[in-house]
Amino acid sequence: MTQDPTVRAAVIVDLVGSRRHTDRAWVHARMMEALQQVNQEVDFDQPLEPTLGDESQARYLSVESALRATLALRLALPEELDCRAGIGVGEVEDLGRTPYGPLQDGPAWWAARDAIVEAKSRESVRDRTLRTWYQVSERLVGPSRDEYPPAELVNAFLLTRDEIVTQMSGRSRRLLRHLLAGASQVEMAVAEGISTSAVSQNLRRSGAFAVQSSQDQLASWFGGR
């Protein structure tokens, strides 16, 4: 089946607790660096770029790319910063650009907004490690909807992935980032200034291998569709 060319995976990102940082210039600079790194690593339909306040937006051709990008962004940010994201699938409409970025509308963006609100709500009550949520627009029906994974499947994955990543130390996140990029443990050891044995122990204990394997399993599911 061919995907509807107007359907995309829209992503809305905001920084977690950024207003607690007194050096706003530093926060903005680190966020811009992280956005640029993710844009180099993950193919996009519209690159991750800031809009207003602490928010950024992007658009992807697949849910898999959106999931990879939201993880890559968390891992690219320095230890002092974190972000949450809402992923929404549906139709999109380009309305031009403003001084603050692209002007867009459509069910994908509405779903992404609802998703990030849900992530923040869950984070503040029960799922304190959750940073990412996924929603498919109710307006996406028929064959087009069947091309995209159900919310229950993706959100079960995200609850587990975010639990592991949120609990990681700064070093563990950096090592996971290297792992997902295909770096060897020797290369990781050099980058971190530690032994290869310490790298191996960290990857096992932090859950990095589990995150990598779950990403691979999900990619296989997408590839089989």
Query: pTM value?
Result: 0.90
User: What is the average pLDDT across 201-214?
Assistant: 95
Task: Give 139's DSSP letter.
Answer: T
Residues 73, 75, 81, 82: what is their CA dihedral angle, to the nearest 10 degrees? 60
Q: Indicate if the pLDDT at residue 2 is higher than 70.
A: no
Give residue 49's pLDDT.
92
pLDDT at residue 4 in the model: 58
State mean pLDDT over 193-209: 96
Nearest to 81 by CA among 43, 52, 54, 42: 54
**Per-residue pLDDT tens digits for 109-137:** 999 999 999 999 998 888 999 999 999 99
Which one, of 195, 191, 197, lies nearest residue 174 by Cα? Answer: 191
Annotated domain spans of the chain: 7-149
- Which of 19-23, 123-127, 205-209 is the least confident region? 19-23
Secondary structure (3-state) at 19: helix
3-state secondary structure of 89: strand
Where residue 99 falls among pLDDT bands split at 50, 70, 90?
Answer: low
pLDDT for 139: 79
Q: What architecture is the 7-149 domain classified under in CATH? A: 2-Layer Sandwich (3.30)
Give Cα 200 distance to the centre of its chain.
Answer: 25
Q: What is the pLDDT of residue 143?
A: 67
Q: pLDDT class for 148, splitting at 50, 70, 90? A: confident
193: left (phi over 0), alpha (psi -120 to 50) or beta: left
Higher pLDDT, 178 or 4: 178
Looking at residue 197, its pLDDT comes to 96
d(CA 56, CA 168): 24
Residue 157: closest CA among 222, 77, 225, 83 = 222
The span from the CA of 154 to the CA of 144, in Å, is: 17
Say whether pLDDT at 1 is over 60. Answer: no
